[in-house]
Amino acid sequence: MKTIYIYVLDTLADWELGHITSELNSRRFFKPDADQLAIKTVSYSNKPIRTMGGMTIIPDCTVDDIVINETNMLLLPGADTWNNAKHTAVLSKVSEFLSVGATVCAICGATAALADFGILDERPHTSNGEGFLEMVSSSYNGQKFYVDQPSVSDNHLITAGSTASLLWTKQIIDDLDVYKKSTLDAWYAYFNTGDSKDFFELMDTLSSNDKN
What is the C-alpha to C-alpha distance for residues 189 and 210, in angstroms, rounded to an integer?
19
Contact 191, 15 (CB under 8 A): no
Give which of 192, 126, 131 is closest to 153, Cα–Cα: 126
Q: Give the E-state strand segments of the chain in sequence order.
A: 2-7, 37-43, 49-50, 56-57, 61-62, 73-76, 103-107, 151-154, 157-160
What is the C-alpha to C-alpha distance for residues 145 and 141, in angstroms, rounded to an integer?
9
What is the C-alpha to C-alpha distance for residues 1 and 148, in angstroms, rounded to an integer?
35
Residues catalogued as catalytic: 108
Query: Strand, coil or helix: what is 29?
Result: coil
